[in-house]
Amino acid sequence: MATAKQIPLIARVGQSIREVGQAFQRTGSFLRGRYAHLDDLQRTRRVNPFLNIMPQIKGNKFLAPSASVIGDVLMGEGCTVWYNALVRADRGKVLVGNNCHIMDRALIRTGILSVRDVRLGDNVVIESGATVLPCKVGNNVWVGANAVLLEGCQVGDGTVIAPGTVVTEFQELLPNMMYSGIAATESRPLTEEERKEVAERRHAVSGLGVQHTTHCEEATAAIVKDKETLRELLATKVDPLEAGTMRTPRDPTLPSYKLA
């Protein structure tokens, strides 16, 4: 562990400034008191640069409020990134094709070894909890929930990877096959009916992304509207510091507000 003498002066100054800023934040929040609800709405930063490289996202259908896309990421048209999913490109590139869907809690990240980049083709679905490390994934691939794709593996077009499957390092999966197990083993070829079902499920995920986009936008608009309503109500009160109560709003659908 580094001692105080080993830490550069500029780092110690930065830490001191940070602590002072945190103290101001706590003090300001305390003094704001019952008027804290008037603070402007602050949205989470879903798209974040790393080393001055900003992700490039082309017309995605849905980017969840709790999703994170970081660093050197290039994402194609019509993609969705769901709740608590993480796409992190800090040691290489993450290249995502068109109409790809990265579901809840999925992790895609670059590596630090010989293989660093992640390449996803078009129409790829990464189900909930799956982990994708630096590898190459073809078109029309379905990666099941909690599956793991390790460094250097290659997945052929149209392949379905069953939930919980582990694709080992530098393993190559044949196209239009179903794989399962630890390590991934070839189960059987996909039937035409199964390929159609996978396409239908992918289409359903895409449509659901549009619905979630609309819902999140409406929820945000409702929060903004509520804040504006509160401001209007505060503007009509007699004396907020002495009375501590608010007049009944003219709109009967709104509740009667009382300051704490």
Q: Which range is least confidently modeled, 34-38, 120-124, 154-158, 215-219?
A: 34-38
Cα-atom radius of gyration of the chain, to the nearest Å? 25
The CA-atom distances, in angstroms, between 37 and each of 34, 60, 142, 233, 236 are: 7, 32, 44, 12, 17
Strand pairing report for 62-63 and 131-132: unpaired
pLDDT surpassing 70 at residue 242: no
pLDDT surpassing 50 at residue 255: no
Q: Which range is least confidently modeled, 13-27, 29-43, 151-165, 212-226?
A: 29-43
What is the structure's pLDDT at 189? 93
pLDDT surpassing 90 at residue 86: yes
Mean pLDDT of the chain: 83
Strand pairing report for 185-189 and 177-180: antiparallel
Q: What is the mean pLDDT of residues 232-253?
A: 49
Q: Which range is least confidently modeled, 13-17, 23-27, 124-128?
A: 23-27
Q: What is the pLDDT of residues 125-165, one digit of tens each?
A: 999 999 999 999 999 999 999 999 999 999 999 999 999 99
Q: Which range is least confidently modeled, 7-11, 26-30, 165-169?
A: 26-30
The CA-atom distances, in angstroms, between 205 and each of 82, 96, 105, 222, 259 are: 10, 17, 15, 25, 44
